[in-house]
Amino acid sequence: MSKDARAFWLREPGVGEIRSVTLPVPGPGEALVRTLRSGVSRGTETLVFGGHVPESQWPAMRAPFQEGDFPGPVKYGYLSVGVVEEGPAGLRGRTVFCLHPHQTAFVVPAAALAVVPEDVPASRAVLAGTVETAVNALWDAAPLVGDRVAVVGAGMVGCCVARLLGQVPGVRVTLVDVDHTRAEVAAALGVGFALPGEAAGGRDLVFHTSATSAGLQTSLDLLAEEGTVIELSWYGDAEVHLSLGGAFHSGRLAVRASQVGTVAAVRRERRTHADRMRLALELLRDAAFDVLLTGESRFEELPDVLQELTSGRLSALCHTITYDEEPSCSA
């Protein structure tokens, strides 16, 4: 017996649609997962939706279970939480996270699934991929006790980074954003807040996540001498413009990229991708992350939701997608 499901596809830049798919019968070592929730990774998915992935980055930007190719048709996404309905005995009935596109049900190798702790709700678990990115960034940066740190850009990634930094003893964290309403989010995360023109300088570390030239310039301007910007933004095909004629050379400043596709070098010999994901899910026991869940829509509405997010008409940190159907059997 095969099972039918439905998946979100980007037909062409700016146009999404729901397509029917027939799932394969799970083989040995595979699992059938019925989706409970998925999350829209606003920065990356809106760039994909708008067709802004540079051709040179098409191979690097492939999601683990992507189908099709950029700029489209392509099935893209990587924040999915569901329940295992068929598969290894130890997984059946368990809630799991998977780096899978938006789809009502799917079949994947069991090794691609990470079990969600029982005290982490499915709605919060969709943040696992983003918290994993934040964990990798902190491994790359290695903040020290007592550091003065700014996080420029109060989106999903920036907020997750700020929350983790705030748990390091003595670290003073300021979340910096052009949107003054993010001050409430910062307070819920237990960190400070400042508008770009009001943020204090002399930072030992700055994490940049705004994906704008202005944000990266602000990040450099906030550094103390010999400080480092950890750059987590992905700009797609947008050009970046900086002024490096000030303190960049005299202050011996540095910009260092951090990207989740590879485990940070300082942990690569001792931690796997699976280890990092398990840690991210354990960290999501922290209910403070719920402040990032700022809206939800039904799966059928996803084509319109991505249009609204891409255009900026819908403002969200993490917009989640709900699913309430079971896959149907067909001969």
pLDDT tens digit sequence for 124-159:
999 999 999 999 999 999 999 999 999 999 999 999
Whether the CB-CB separation of 285 and 117 falls below 8 Å is answered with: yes
Q: List, in sequence order, every beta strand (DSSP E) within the chain.
A: 2-12, 15-23, 30-40, 67-68, 74-75, 80-86, 95-98, 105-109, 114-115, 148-152, 172-176, 192-194, 203-208, 223-231, 254-257, 293-298, 318-322, 328-330
pLDDT confidence of residue 245: 85
For residue range 23-46, list pLDDT tens digits in order: 999 999 999 999 999 999 888 899
Statement: residue 196 has pLDDT above 90: yes
d(CA 167, CA 187): 14
- Cα dihedral: 109, 11, 61, 31 (round 10): -10
Q: What is the pLDDT of residues 238-292, one digit of tens each?
A: 899 999 988 899 999 999 999 998 999 999 999 999 999 999 999 999 999 999 9
**Per-domain residue ranges of the chain:** 2-127+284-330, 133-257
Instruction: Give pLDDT, residue 324.
Output: 78
| Beta strand pairing call for 2-12 and 95-98 | unpaired
The residues pairing with 150 across neighbouring beta strands, listed in sequence order, are 174, 206
For residue 328, name the pLDDT band (cuts at 50, 70, 90). very low
What six digits make up the tokens of 284?
Answer: 């999501």
Q: Could you give the C-alpha distances from 272 to 78, 134, 136, in angstroms and in order?
A: 18, 16, 11
* pLDDT, tens digit (0-9, with 9 covering 90-100), for 33-87: 999 999 998 888 999 999 999 999 899 889 999 999 999 999 999 999 999 999 9
pLDDT of residue 238: 86
* Domain at 133-257: CATH code: 3.40.50.720
**Cβ-contact 21, 7 below 8 angstroms:** yes
Query: Which CATH fold would you assign to the domain 2-127+284-330?
Result: Quinone Oxidoreductase; Chain A, domain 1 (3.90.180)
Region of residue 87 (left: phi > 0; alpha: psi -120 to 50; beta: else): left
* pLDDT tens digits, one per residue of 161-186: 999 999 999 999 999 999 999 999 99
CA–CA–CA angle 249, 251, 256 (5° rounding)? 75
Other Cβ atoms less than 10 A from the Cβ of 124: the count is: 24
How high is the pLDDT of residue 329?
A: 46
Per-residue confidence band for 330, with pLDDT thresholds at 50, 70 and 90: very low
The neighbouring-strand residues paired with 231 are: 208, 257
What single DSSP character describes residue 289?
Answer: G
Residue 327 has pLDDT above 70, yes or no: no
Start-to-end C-alpha separation, the chain = 6
| % of the chain beyond a pLDDT of 70 | 97
The pairing of strands 114-115 and 148-152 is unpaired
pTM above 0.85, yes or no: yes
Q: Which residues pair with 80 in a beta bridge?
A: 38, 98
**DSSP characters over 27-53:** -TTEEEEEEEEEEE-HHHHHHHHTT--
